[in-house]
Chain A
Amino acid sequence: MDIAEAILTTVATASTPLLIAATGELVVERSGVLNLGVEGMMLMGAVSGFAVTALTGYPWLGVLAAVIVGAVYSLLFGFLTLTLVTNQVATGLALTLLGVGLSGLIGVPFVGHPGIQMTSLYIPGLTGLPYVGKLLFGEDPLFYLSIVLVIGVSWFLFGTRAGLTLRSVGDNHGSAHALGIPVIRIRYLAVMFGGACAGLAGAQLSIVYTPQWVENMTAGRGWIALALVVFASWRPWRVFAGAYLFGLLTIAELNIQAVDLSTLHQLPGAVYDLLALIKAIPSQFLSSIPYLATVVVLVVISRNRRLTMMNTPASLGRAFVPDR
């Protein structure tokens, strides 16, 4: 049981960055803005989180720095798309391209620098419980934060007046503006929230998941997070399900690569043969599974045009210039 428990714990660690980044982007898209810069914002969060942790010795300060850097960096996107009404797709790409370069430059002194990992929760008595103890009470703090985040966003969007306002801006910015709702201001706030979440997700990678700085260490997770929002048809709890599905996939793939067949002779023949078969697949093919799965998932979700149309925020990606 120890192995299964360890695997499940790592699934949570692998899913958390996707969950946080995708939840942030969900709020942005619900306000009608498509920010394709998630990958870049995550990288900025990862490098600043790692740097501040390394310089101060306090992982929490690193997390805080990553959140602030993510939010401030997203303002660049906000200023261009909201104030200067530039094309959102192109500007989001620019945010990612600049983020890749800038994080690489900032991170140069930190390559190969030993990182400090955030300690996991430990509650005497509870964490030691058999089977569920470590799963429920022994995760890293950002895992709990991510769960709070999903609950909070779900409640905010569908349980509060402010959430309704935000959704109305995303569904029809013209009418919202006519009703006197400050469309641009709400979108700025949403974009900054998305940036803060992406920064946090990046910090999770460089402080919790693999405590080190490697150039481009997000490895496409920002893009997968974007796909998860579509997959989830813009609902927070479906984002949660999607993120954990992908986390499971990643960990399964990693564990199958690492497993040593010679120690597993006691397994039933069929299971052993299946494992041997999978082990025979080149590692590069296994590594490409999350990317291929993303494409497959997008195809399955979007083939139903009517369903997609119904769920997509109607003003998503469209520029808004107020007429005064």
Chain B
Amino acid sequence: MRIELVKRPQHSILFSALSPVVALILTLLFGLVLFALLGRNPVTAMYIYFVSPLTEVWQIHELAVKAAPLILIAVGLSVCYRSNNWNIGAEGQLVAGALAGSILPVMFPDFQNFMLLPLMMIMGMIGGALYAGIPAILKVRFNTNEILSSLMLVYVANLFLDWMVRGPWRDPNGHNFPQTIQFSDAATLPAIFPASGRASWDFVFALVAALVIWFMMEKTLKGFEVRVMGQSPRAGRFAGFSSGRIVIFSFVVSGALAGLAGIATVSANINQLQPVISPGYGFTAIIVAFLGRLNPLGIVVAGLVLALSYLGGEAAQTAIGISDKTASVFQGMLLFFVLASDTLIYYRIRIVRSRERAGEVVHGHS
């Protein structure tokens, strides 16, 4: 018995819509198995994981807190991945953005007026964009593999942040804790509805970014360029599109959004810099981007789903004592199932028994 792929004459619209759902269902089924293996009642564990974090209003706010950076980063990554540029260093760009955005509140704490927050956000975007520009320029100029260079820069950014909060930016009155001074109120991104929870304006940024990038990708020439260069660089070159410019463009856009995610989540939720400011948002966002099928609007939904997995992990740890590492296992499984389900869009799957001869179908050759 073996599995054979038969290329569909056209890609299946049904499965384009259905594949993320198929992936989610498969992940949940395997989740039941995982909980059973961990010696917990699977149904109870499932409830605690995926339903209990959504039962009260303040919890919905927590969902938005986690989803905002994921959506911001993933929307940017979708531009990169659509253009076939593999930026996997968003975690480092997030840190670079958080550092650049913190220059004003940490070094000039007395500068407090209505311009402060916009300036912080813009500086965060510039920081992330510049940091993402490094692998982009190396790719264009020296043909350097952007996957490896962007990832290596994550480690460098994290070490640099570590040095900053232990060295030059350490709070002199902070009892030697590795952290900067607390941001002033003027430097704190406010909550949208402070009465019911702490979800702040970064969630609105995320929704706006998704809409803007969606519009750009679908309705503008730039978006068309990005998509053409991703699908067929040869055709793009005939059309006169510059591949180098697209590399820089997509990296700068995704770096800027990752940088914004960094400074926004620091300003809204942590209020100071610490050695660790992100639970791996930059990597989880890769999964968000694929679950959202690289479509900014799909990514909004996917971001909420992945945010729920973080909350579920925390809830399961407190309620039934299983490690919150299960969250990253769920996230990893989900990406596998998303990728596997995507095969159904382009191919029909045939199970061939060893005796049977397969051959009547003309196959596409990639």
Binding site for B on A (CB under 8 A): 36, 76, 80, 83-87, 89-91, 93-94, 97-102, 104-105, 108, 174, 219-220, 223, 226-227, 230, 282, 284-285, 287-288, 291-292, 294-295, 298-299, 302-303, 305, 308, 318-324
Contact B5 A321 (CB under 8 A): yes
Contact A89 B147 (CB under 8 A): yes
0/1 string, B102-123, CB within 8 A of A gives 1: 0000000000000000000000
Q: Given the known inter-chain contacts A105-B323, A298-B149, A319-B366, please indicate yes or no for A94 contacting B332, CB distance below 8 A.
A: yes
A100-B326 Cα distance, complex, nearest whole Å:
11
In the bound complex, residues from chain A placing their C-beta under 8 Å from that of B329 are: 98, 101-102, 105
CB pairs A–B below 8 angstroms (5 shown): A223-B151, A292-B152, A295-B138, A298-B148, A321-B365
A228 to chain B, nearest CB (A): 10
Q: Given the known inter-chain contacts A89-B86, A284-B163, A321-B365, please indicate yes or no for A230 contacting B332, CB distance below 8 A.
A: no
A295-B151 Cα distance, complex, nearest whole Å:
10
The 6 closest A-B pairs by CB, nearest first: A98-B332, A101-B328, A284-B163, A104-B325, A105-B325, A101-B329
B149 CB contact (under 8 Å) in A93, A94, A220, A295? A295
Contact A97 B147 (CB under 8 A): no
A97 CB contact (under 8 Å) in B149, B153, B328? B328
Contact B148 A84 (CB under 8 A): no
Q: Given the known inter-chain contacts A86-B342, A321-B366, please indicate yes or no for A288 contacting B336, CB distance below 8 A.
A: no
Which chain B residues in 284-303 approach chain A with CB under 8 Å? 286-287, 290
Q: Given the known inter-chain contacts A97-B335, A291-B153, A295-B152, please indicate yes or no for A302 contacting B290, CB distance below 8 A.
A: no
In the bound complex, residues from chain A placing their C-beta under 8 Å from that of B152 are: 220, 223, 227, 291-292, 294-295
In the bound complex, residues from chain A placing their C-beta under 8 Å from that of B153 are: 291, 295
A90-B359 Cα distance, complex, nearest whole Å:
31
- In the complex, B238 has a CB within 8 A of chain A: no
A266 to chain B, nearest CB (A): 32
A282-B164 Cα distance, complex, nearest whole Å:
10
- In the complex, B283 has a CB within 8 A of chain A: yes
Total contacts A to B, CB within 8 angstroms?
Answer: 148
Contact B328 A302 (CB under 8 A): no
B143 CB contact (under 8 Å) in A84, A86, A308, A318? A308
Q: Given the known inter-chain contacts A97-B335, A284-B160, please indicate yes or no for A323 contacting B365, CB distance below 8 A.
A: yes
- B-side interface mostly: helix
Contact A299 B142 (CB under 8 A): yes
In the bound complex, residues from chain A placing their C-beta under 8 Å from that of B159 are: 284-285, 287-288
B277 to chain A, nearest CB (A): 15
A84-B22 Cα distance, complex, nearest whole Å:
15
A321-B286 Cα distance, complex, nearest whole Å:
26
A102 CB contact (under 8 Å) in B143, B332, B364? B332
A141 to chain B, nearest CB (A): 30
In the bound complex, residues from chain B placing their C-beta under 8 Å from that of A299 are: 138, 142, 144, 149
Name the residue on B nearest A318 (C-beta): B366
- In the complex, B241 has a CB within 8 A of chain A: no
Which chain B residues in 346-366 approach chain A with CB under 8 Å? 347, 358-359, 362-366
A99 CB contact (under 8 Å) in B7, B143, B332? B332
Contact B332 A101 (CB under 8 A): yes
0/1 string, B233-263, CB within 8 A of A gives 1: 0000000000000000000000000000000
A8-B69 Cα distance, complex, nearest whole Å:
45
Contact A284 B162 (CB under 8 A): yes
- In the complex, B343 has a CB within 8 A of chain A: yes
B15 to chain A, nearest CB (A): 13
Q: Given the known inter-chain contacts A83-B3, A323-B363, please indicate yes or no for A288 contacting B142, CB distance below 8 A.
A: no
Which chain B residues in 132-169 approach chain A with CB under 8 Å? 138, 142-145, 147-149, 151-153, 155-156, 159-160, 162-163, 166-167
A97-B142 Cα distance, complex, nearest whole Å:
28
Contact B343 A98 (CB under 8 A): no
Which chain B residues in 316-342 approach chain A with CB under 8 Å? 323, 325-333, 335-336, 339-340, 342
A219-B156 Cα distance, complex, nearest whole Å:
12
Name the residue on B nearest A98 (C-beta): B332
- In the complex, B88 has a CB within 8 A of chain A: yes
Name the residue on A nearest B138 (C-beta): A299
In the bound complex, residues from chain A placing their C-beta under 8 Å from that of B142 are: 299, 302-303
In the bound complex, residues from chain B placing their C-beta under 8 Å from that of A305 are: 143
In the bound complex, residues from chain B placing their C-beta under 8 Å from that of A174 are: 365
A101-B279 Cα distance, complex, nearest whole Å:
12
Contact A85 B287 (CB under 8 A): no
In the bound complex, residues from chain B placing their C-beta under 8 Å from that of A308 are: 143
In the bound complex, residues from chain A placing their C-beta under 8 Å from that of B326 are: 101, 105
B325 CB contact (under 8 Å) in A83, A108, A226, A288? A108
A98-B325 Cα distance, complex, nearest whole Å:
11
In the bound complex, residues from chain A placing their C-beta under 8 Å from that of B342 are: 86
B347 to chain A, nearest CB (A): 7
In the bound complex, residues from chain B placing their C-beta under 8 Å from that of A89 are: 86, 147
In the bound complex, residues from chain A placing their C-beta under 8 Å from that of B86 are: 89
Name the residue on A nearest B84 (C-beta): A89
Contact A295 B144 (CB under 8 A): yes
A237 to chain B, nearest CB (A): 21
Other CB < 8 Å A-B pairs besides A84-B343, A97-B331, A108-B325, 12 of them?
A83-B5, A84-B5, A84-B339, A86-B343, A94-B339, A98-B335, A230-B145, A284-B166, A298-B144, A298-B148, A299-B142, A321-B365
